């Protein structure tokens, strides 16, 4: 299979760097093809601005969505964006590895998403009607591909539990897993979190690698997160609200997960 690793950490000698190297070696030893986008090493341009829109008429206000749509359709995107889009098309699965900084992904990775997820490529695709509101949330250009987050955290696991002071990890990652991944069609695997990163010793790292290897080995067989597909009948369209008989009385993020179902079903 073809695996793409999107990696966002500035220090190659860090725990993240060691996990990146382990994943590459393990996947290649298993016979997979691997490509890596090491964003810091690439000196990835995180800011989306008029430089991303060749031919932009600066007499008009800069609208990132409109300009993204224009240059994508015209085939005039900057080379770095086109290369990352080609990697996504190539991959059967994508691993996003990053430290959780200030309750989200590092800015450089957010900038990768904002620039690579062009209008017409990752969003703004499909029919929009009274019964089908675009190809998104389970449909879209990434449909058929799997994605998984590998996230390092300094805090303890209970800090990110349902009653933990930082909030439940599933809730913190919801904008990434449901939005950045499921929205353009990825089948989203449960995340692989690594807690208490400053308390890592050789024995714990060995255990960590064993667990990570198992997740990598089962990436295409484990059950994904069962997010509800937008156009499969659970949501009122065009209101895009969950139908009243589903999770009645609830308004938490968990209502968008259908237990016992996969995104494909």
Neighbours of 249 (CB within 10 A): 6
**Model confidence at 259, in pLDDT bands (50, 70, 90)?**
confident
Mean of per-residue pLDDT scores for the chain? 95
Residue 16 token pair: 């993240």
Q: How far apart are CA 68 and CA 112, in angstroms?
A: 14
Q: Render pLDDT for 147-177 as a digit per residue (tens, 0 to 9).
A: 999 999 999 999 999 999 999 999 999 999 9
Segment 38-67 shows an average pLDDT of 96
**pLDDT the model gives residue 256:** 97
Q: Is 3.40.50.360 the CATH number for 2-226?
A: yes
Q: Answer whether residue 101 shows pLDDT above 60.
A: yes
Instruction: Please report, for the chain, the start and end positions of each structural domain, with discontinuous segments joined by +.
Output: 2-226
**Model confidence at 139, in pLDDT bands (50, 70, 90)?**
very high
Residue 119 token pair: 């209008």
Q: Render pLDDT for 222-240 as a digit per residue (tens, 0 to 9).
A: 999 999 999 999 999 999 9
Residue 222 token pair: 């484990």
Secondary structure element (H or E) that encloses residue 213, with its range: helix 202-217
**Model confidence at 260, in pLDDT bands (50, 70, 90)?**
low
Q: Answer for the pair 108, 41: CB distance below 8 angstroms, yes or no.
A: no
């Amino acid at each position: 299979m073809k695996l793409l690793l999107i990696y966002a950490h500035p220090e190659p000698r860090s725990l993240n760097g060691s996990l990146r190297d382990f994943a590459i070696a393990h996947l290649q030893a298993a016979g997979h093809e691997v490509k890596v986008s090491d964003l810091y090493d690439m000196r990835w341009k995180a800011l989306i601005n008029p430089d991303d829109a060749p031919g932009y008429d600066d007499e008009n206000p800069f609208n990132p969505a409109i300009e993204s749509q224009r240059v994508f359709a015209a085939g005039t995107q900057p080379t770095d964006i086109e290369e990352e889009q080609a990697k996504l098309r190539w991959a059967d699965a994508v691993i996003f590895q990053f430290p959780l900084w200030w309750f989200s992904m590092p800015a450089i990775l957010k900038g990768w998403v904002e620039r690579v997820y062009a209008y017409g490529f990752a969003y703004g695709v499909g029919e929009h009607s009274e019964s089908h509101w675009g190809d998104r949330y389970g449909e879209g250009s990434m449909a058929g591909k799997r994605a998984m987050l590998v996230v390092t955290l300094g805090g303890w696991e209970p800090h990110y539990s349902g009653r933990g002071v930082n909030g439940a990890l599933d809730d913190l990652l919801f904008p990434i897993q449901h939005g950045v991944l499921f929205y353009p069609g990825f089948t989203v695997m449960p995340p692989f979190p690594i807690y208490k990163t400053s308390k890592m010793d050789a024995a714990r790292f060995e255990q960590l690698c064993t667990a990570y290897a198992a997740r990598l080995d089962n990436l295409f067989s484990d059950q994904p997160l069962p997010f509800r597909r937008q156009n499969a009948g659970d949501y009122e369209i065009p209101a895009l609200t969950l139908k009243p008989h589903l999770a009645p009385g609830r308004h938490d993020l968990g209502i968008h997960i259908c237990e016992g179902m996969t995104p494909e079903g």
